Amino acid sequence: MTANRGGSRTVSKPGTDDTQTASTDDVPLGSPRVSDPVIKSSNLDVYYGDTQALHEINMEIPERQVTALIGPSGCGKSTFLRSINRMNDLIDVARVDGDLYFHGKNVYDDDVDPVALRRKIGMVFQKPNPFPKSIFDNVAYGLRVQGKDDGDVEEKVKTALERAALWDEVKGQLDESGLDLSGGQQQRLCIARAIAPDPEVILMDEPASALDPVATSKIEDLVEELSREYTVAIVTHNMQQAARISDKTAVFLTGGHLVEFDDTEKIFENPESDRVEDYITGKFG
């Protein structure tokens, strides 16, 4: 399935695919039918020690679209994102129950190497975090850990910087420190670093929330552009941003529940749940 965007966001029509594979149990209200989910969570629970941060999350993230995760602070958006590429493994007290599939393979199976998984499912964080290295080395880093330092590194670095819409701004200064770039450029550098190893999925956790409006708008354009080639899941606390750039929207609410998941247009224009309506119209959160 490929989103046909033609420059602006198009929302695929729900109900055009009758080969729905998800079980209808525990599906959040208004779940869109997704013909080829790249990511699928099934009854996913996440705990930090004794505290449950996510409850029975059932969700499918479609290929080459932008899926936005919205909801008030503390409702588990980052936790869900980290469960997709097993970044929660790095948190001692975190524990995951239930299933998370990447192309039908449970990423929590014993034979899955989390490092290899994270090359397929890259991540970009809220605060740009370039390494204290040159621009070139920041992007090449992902390739080198992959053992692909085989001569075409320069070409791959260039391609990644082009895809991250940064090449034109930095092509004359690849040896300069990534830390000397502006905040918005640093974030695009981190995006270039994430896409250099040629992932399929890019997870973004509030990638623009530390940036000024101009840099934010560049990131938004880039996210839409990236979804032509990659599957993108983006957490944002900015509802207008979700409405602008995403195809699908998942609304998490307090306590770690996925309350509604549907085409973005439907969520913002005619949500099923009163709580979602209250949230998106600003009555709380």
Ligand X SMILES: Nc1ncnc2c1ncn2[C@@H]1O[C@H](COP(=O)(O)OP(=O)(O)O)[C@@H](O)[C@H]1O
Q: Which two tokens stand for residue 240?
A: 């207008």
- The Cα 33–Cα 263 span in angstroms is 10
- Quick check: 141 binds ligand X (CB under 6 A)? no
To the nearest 10 degrees (0 to 180), the angle between helices 135-145 and 153-163 is: 110
Q: Pick the piece of the chain touching ligand X (CB under 6 A) from 6-14, 73-81, 185-193, 243-251.
A: 73-81
186 binds Mg ion (CB under 5 A): no
Q: Specify whether the CB–CB gap between 209 and 236 falls below 8 A.
A: yes
Confirm or reject binding of residue 74 to ligand X (CB under 6 A). yes
Nearer to Mg ion, 78 or 249 (CB): 78
Our finding on whether 185 is near Mg ion (CB under 5 A) is no
* Residue number, 57 or 117, with CB nearest to ligand X: 57
Closest CB to ligand X among 95 and 103? 95
Least Å distance, CB 209 to Mg ion, is 9
Q: Which helix (H) or strand (E) holds 275?
A: helix 274-280
79 scored as a contact of ligand X (CB under 6 A) = yes
Q: Which does 145 bind (CB under 5 to 8 A by kind): Mg ion, ligand X, none?
A: none
User: Residue 203 Cβ, how far from Mg ion at the closest point, in Å?
Assistant: 12
| Residue nearer to Mg ion on the CB measure, 13 or 127 | 127
Report the C-alpha gap between 35 and 116 in whole angstroms. 26
* Least CB distance to ligand X at residue 69 (A): 8
Q: What share of the chain is helix, strand, coil (3-state, %, to 5)?
A: 35, 25, 40
Given the complex with ligand X, which of 79 and 187 has the nearer CB atom?
Answer: 79
In eight-state DSSP terms, residue 136 is H
70-78, 100-108, 141-149, 185-193 -> range binding Mg ion (CB under 5 A) = 70-78
Based on the shown chain and the rule CB under 5 A, indicate whether residue 78 belongs to the binding site for Mg ion: yes
Residue 83 near Mg ion by CB under 5 A: no
Stretch in the footprint of Mg ion (CB under 5 A) among 29-37, 54-62, 76-84, 182-190: 76-84
87 contacts 80 by C-beta, under 8 angstroms: no
Interaction of residue 255 with ligand X, rule CB under 6 A = no
Closer residue to Mg ion in complex, CB, 133/237: 237
77 touches ligand X by CB under 6 A:
yes
Category of 75 on φ-ψ map: left (φ > 0), alpha (ψ -120 to 50) or beta: alpha
Answer yes or no whether residue 86 interacts with ligand X by CB under 6 A.
no
Q: Is residue 83 involved in binding ligand X (CB under 6 A)? A: no
What gap in Å lies between CA 250 and CA 126, rounded to an integer?
A: 19
Query: What span, in angstroms and rounded, lies between the C-alpha atoms of 263 and 234?
Result: 15
SS3 per-residue string spanning 34-102: CCCEEEEEEEEEEEECCEEEEEEEEEEEECCCEEEEECCCCCCHHHHHHHHCCHHHHCCCEEEEEEEEE
Q: Which two tokens stand for residue 32?
A: 């869109």
Contact set for ligand X, span 18-57 (CB under 6 A): 48, 53
Instruction: State yes or no: residue 123 binds ligand X (CB under 6 A).
Output: no
Q: Please give the single-letter amino acid code of residue 50.
A: D
Rule CB under 6 A: is residue 207 a binding residue for ligand X?
no
Binding site for Mg ion (CB under 5 A): 78
